Chain A
Amino acid sequence: MPEAATAVTAEPATWDFRLPSLGADMDVGVLLEWSVEPGDTVERGSIVALVSTEKADIDVEIWREGEVVELLVDLDTEIEVGTPILRLVPSGDAPTPEPDTGSEPGQATEPGPKPVPAEAPTTGPPPAPAVPRPTPTRLPGPPGGDRLPASPLARARAAERDIELSSIVGTGPDGAVLLRDVEAARPAPSPSRRAKGARERPEEAMRRAIASRMAKANAEIPHYFLDQDVDLGPALDRLAAHNENLSVSERVLPAVLLLRATARAAVAVPDLNGYWDDDRFEPAGGSDLAVAVSLRRGGLVTPVITGVADRSIDDLMAVLREMVTAARSGTLRSSWMGQAGLTVTNLGDRGVDRVGGVIFPPQVALVGFGRIRQRPWVIDDVVVPRPIVTASLAADHRASDGATGSRFLTALAKDLENPELP
């Protein structure tokens, strides 16, 4: 009897679920809790574990259905993104692509040959937890053979830091490991290492994470700033009419219109949506947006909403609300913690008129909104009070020029001035 047949008969094929992305720069987490045990059946989207990071506790969602056969990680262990944490006997067919995202699994999260030949690598895109990747392959040294795809700089830096390339989750084309991924990675902890004190003072840990990221941004990114005042009168009138028929819990906030207009501008002018890496701009494509959510105890998290440009305002409101509520209660879902090529921050609620933002590297732009406020506005030579918002753009001058930023803001303003609802 052929060996392969014996193997299949003797033991059902298993599949290892790896710890998905926990958000930008969050490459390790501490396993706090298992939500499943061997013998349990899981579905796509089932929460299997709770993992703590510097920024938030994250409910880890699995993206294949099947039966759990083994838990591969002990509680309180520090685990890196990409580490196998759970073994599953998959049921049904290979997973279907997540309709909401254009993301595909980075190769670095799915290395090695698949145990089942029928399972082509392209059939298993996880939902958002997979690190979204830019589509064009402009990287030198295309992946081939056994070589893990990685940029030359990334390779050199990984060797320098004594980090296995295979342990790094790549965010480049086809999951290629880029320099920024290596910089973000930490040397693998020894398996027995316990993350003592990892739960201590979450505010301080978050402050440190923000501090290092923002200091890097300010040191490396030559920011330029543009802003534009937008009359939200027509948009708010339409929104009020839309909300009139909705129950309290379904009413849509103006913030949703701001988000969607930003996403549409990112589609129209894609040069500001992506990553600066290796001295070149990698477009992210699509319209996933990271949304800055401030936490009352201080600090902020930036969960990602996928495909914002194509969602209805009702859908966006529901997602945004769930996300903000979850963030503030201290637990986010792993499917929200992917990477986006652009961040939006809405500080209008805090009463300020204008945002002059700091870009989250490796992104190349940040869009900010201030307070919507009645201001004098000239229409047909008459000064009238109108609800005005200042939309601002902080952009990386290495990746784009003022003219591009200007086109982006103009597209955004145009959409906001005359939005289609819903």
Chain B
Amino acid sequence: MTTLTTDQARTAVVESIARIAPDVADEIESLDPSVDLWEELELDSMDHVNVMTALTERTGVDIPERRYAELRSIGSLVDHLVGSTG
């Protein structure tokens, strides 16, 4: 697994969410990295699964289900991706 930089991880997260929820794509870039994406963008559990799947496919990083609850912001997702590949 290649190491992801923070910028690469951030791009992966933003683009994955934009793909799952194209109608809110414009808002994602300007979001505070610490806000709860699911509340802010009104994503539901099915969107959540789809974002996790997209991220895993793209980066090769596994995201255990028990960690889903913590990984709800751009910042935490980026940290997880970078931490798992670093």
Contact = CB atoms under 8 A, between A and B. Distances in A.
Interface of A: 240, 243-244, 247-249, 251, 253-255, 294, 296-297, 320-321, 324-325, 328-329, 349-350
Contacts of B53: 248-249
B46 A253 contact: yes
19 contacts: A247-B56, A248-B52, A248-B53, A248-B62, A249-B53, A249-B56, A253-B49, A255-B46, A296-B42, A297-B23, A321-B46, A321-B49, A321-B50, A325-B46, A328-B21, A349-B44, A349-B45, A349-B46, A350-B42
Going nearest first, the 9 A-B pairs with the smallest beta carbon separation are A349-B44, A249-B53, A248-B56, A324-B46, A248-B52, A248-B53, A243-B65, A349-B45, A296-B23
Given A248-B52, A296-B24, A240 B66 contact: yes
Contacts of A254: 45
Interface in B49-78: 49-50, 52-53, 56-57, 62-63, 65-66
Contacts of A324: 46
Contacts, number: 43
A256 B53 CA distance: 18
Given A253-B45, A296-B21, A349-B44, A244 B65 contact: yes
A328 B50 CA distance: 12
Given A240-B65, A248-B62, A320 B46 contact: yes
A12 to B, nearest CB: 45
Interface of B: 21-24, 42, 44-46, 49-50, 52-53, 56-57, 62-63, 65-66
Given A321-B50, A349-B44, 11 more contacts: A244-B65, A248-B56, A248-B62, A248-B63, A249-B49, A253-B45, A253-B46, A321-B46, A349-B45, A350-B42, A350-B44
Interface centre among A240, A248, A297, A328, by most chain B C-beta atoms within 10 angstroms, is A248
Contacts of B50: 321, 325
Contacts of B56: 247-249
Q: Provide the main secondary structure of the chain A interface.
A: helix
Nearest to A323: B46
A327 B49 CA distance: 16
A296 B22 CA distance: 10
Nearest to B38: A349
B12 to A, nearest CB: 14
Contacts of B24: 296
Nearest to B46: A324
Contacts of A296: 21, 23-24, 42
A53 B22 CA distance: 21
A248 B24 CA distance: 23
Contacts of A255: 45-46
B1 to A, nearest CB: 15
B49 to A, nearest CB: 6
Contacts of A350: 42, 44
B7 to A, nearest CB: 23
A297 B41 CA distance: 12
B68 to A, nearest CB: 9
Contacts of A349: 44-46
A254 B46 CA distance: 10
A349 B41 CA distance: 12
A248 B77 CA distance: 15
A349 B49 CA distance: 13
Nearest to B68: A251
A154 to B, nearest CB: 39
A247 B65 CA distance: 10
Contacts of A325: 46, 50
A255 B49 CA distance: 12
B61 to A, nearest CB: 10
A192 B49 CA distance: 46
B24 to A, nearest CB: 7
